[in-house]
Amino acid sequence: MSRPGHVHDEADFVIVGTGAGGATAARVLAAAGLDVLMLEEGPDLAIEERPREAVDALRIALREFGTTTSTGLAPIPFLQGCIVGGSTAINSGIIWRMPEDVRRDWIERFGLGELVDGRGLGRAFEILEEELEVEPTRADVLGGNSERMALACERLGLPGKPITRNARRCVGSNQCLQGCPERARQSMDNSYVPRARRDGARLRDLMRVEQVVIEDGRATGVRGQTLDKVTRRPVGSFEVHARRAVIVSGGAIQTPVLLRRSGLRGMVGERFQAHPGAAIVGRFPDAPVGMGYGATQGYEVPMRERGFKIESLSLPPEMLATRIAGVGPEWQERLAHLDQFAQWAVQSRFKAQGSVRPGLFGGARVSYAPLPSDVRQIQEALALMVRMMFAAGASEVYPGLGGGIPDVLTSPEQADLIANLKPKPGDIHLVASHLFGTACASSDPKKGAVRPDLMSWEVRDLYVMDACVFPTNMGVNPQHSIMAVVWRAAERLANQERLAKSA
């Protein structure tokens, strides 16, 4: 007899999370005719239910409104989606294939030759790019912010290019963070979650999984709490039985927390890595930038050989206003000309590694601190962005840095102040949205938490299918590689099921 407020369900495959990993696994397994149940802690919101004001929209869609941070003197916030579609529902849809040097490194050091086989991975990328409408940002939707960056690259001889995104039908509404009002961006809530449901998969939202049920060394289901849509507070409990397997796709922070709370140890939670980033703003008084029109992120400067990538990043007015330098009348004057500002950001491939553990009072404890070489790398990138702003015609630049750096820079020569800064913790304000590791895949259990087929080394029929399994970070946006790697692993799982049924 079920208890009041208690939900019980079952499926062949229970998938925890609906982001790039979980939704792709559901798409592949459901298409193979398997019984799939997707569980998502966040809400299942139609586009019409997501507020158009970015702060309100992100309050609904971001885990803890971006307040999960690293420990230490200079905490780094980690941005994680908590909504159907996961982080894909709040990003700009940037698409990069896995760099060849990363693929070879994973084969040579971690024995992942079958998982990231060149031909098989290439086939997965091709399918994804066709189904998710991937193409470079068109000139008519670049917008003024990206056009200024393109001009800077032309004048300084930098290798800039339009960003490739999963948004072939983009009309330049600049509302990726709030959820594309035209559903042009093929985030997982617009693409693979509904596709999996059409193929028979089921979705239960507002279900916080708190434990993987393990019996005789095998994952047999999950337990957790059901949440109220408005308050996100528990209103009941649930238990779901998995006849074939449990697939955990909660991301590089939530996945290891769940696995450790379920009793797993070893390499679970180790080797946490990230691409922390920072941003600057420039003022262009001679011609309006018009940040309100164009792709949220339309242009980039890939510089992997130097450890970073620069991207245009348009913000809605209420968020852009917080980045404008000055106080009182000075700030008000600038605010009155909000269409004159451009913002660019850098994502840097840090070498630092950390760890993730369950927090003492819930949540996660992330131990992570940049190395001195990481800090120098992002200083180099910030200094370059300042020079780019002035090359594109900026009259002043707002670096947003401590350490005695002026709030307003008025010449490109002042970029040297950033390059030569000896920063103290907190002088450079970092945010990280690309998170990796914590359940690495490896053919050697001493190096990883999951096998090359992404099943746990410790527990049978327990799979991890998200960026946790990446042994290293990559220096490019990861969602496309997450989907391709998961496609390969889920397809193999589906084939095994077919063979078992035909035997």
**Residues known to be catalytic:** 434
- Across 249-296, the runs of DSSP E, i.e. the strands, are 273-283
Compute the distance between CA of residue 183 and CA of residue 188 in angstroms, rounded to an integer: 11
User: What are the CA-CA distances from residue 5 to residues 9, 39, 226 (Å)?
Assistant: 13, 17, 9
Nearest to 181 by CA among 193, 169, 192: 169
Under DSSP, the state recorded for 183 is -
Question: Do 227 and 41 meet the contact criterion of CB atoms below 8 Å apart?
Answer: yes
Quick one: how far is CA 154 from the chain centroid? Answer: 30
What is the sign, positive or negative, of the torsion defined by CA atoms of 14, 19, 21, 25?
positive
Compute the distance between CA of residue 85 and CA of residue 45 in angstroms, rounded to an integer: 10
Compute the distance between CA of residue 281 and CA of residue 299 in angstroms, rounded to an integer: 16
Compute the distance between CA of residue 173 and CA of residue 314 in angstroms, rounded to an integer: 11
Compute the distance between CA of residue 265 and CA of residue 284 in angstroms, rounded to an integer: 53
Compute the distance between CA of residue 160 and CA of residue 299 in angstroms, rounded to an integer: 7
Under DSSP, the state recorded for 65 is G
Token couple for 3? 């208890």
Question: Which is it for strands 341-348 and 273-283: parallel, antiparallel or unpaired?
Answer: antiparallel
Compute the distance between CA of residue 109 and CA of residue 273 in angstroms, rounded to an integer: 17
User: What are the CA-CA distances from residue 86 to residues 79, 209, 277, 353 (Å)?
Assistant: 11, 15, 20, 24
Question: Do 400 and 429 meet the contact criterion of CB atoms below 8 Å apart?
Answer: yes
Token couple for 408? 């307003």
User: What are the CA-CA distances from residue 269 to residues 344, 358, 436, 458 (Å)?
Assistant: 32, 9, 10, 14
Q: In terms of C-beta density within 10 A (0-12 exposed, 13-18 middle, 19 or more buried), how is residue 110 classed? A: buried
Helix, strand, coil percentages for the chain (3-state, nearest 5)? 35, 25, 40
Question: Which is it for strands 207-215 and 218-227: parallel, antiparallel or unpaired?
Answer: antiparallel
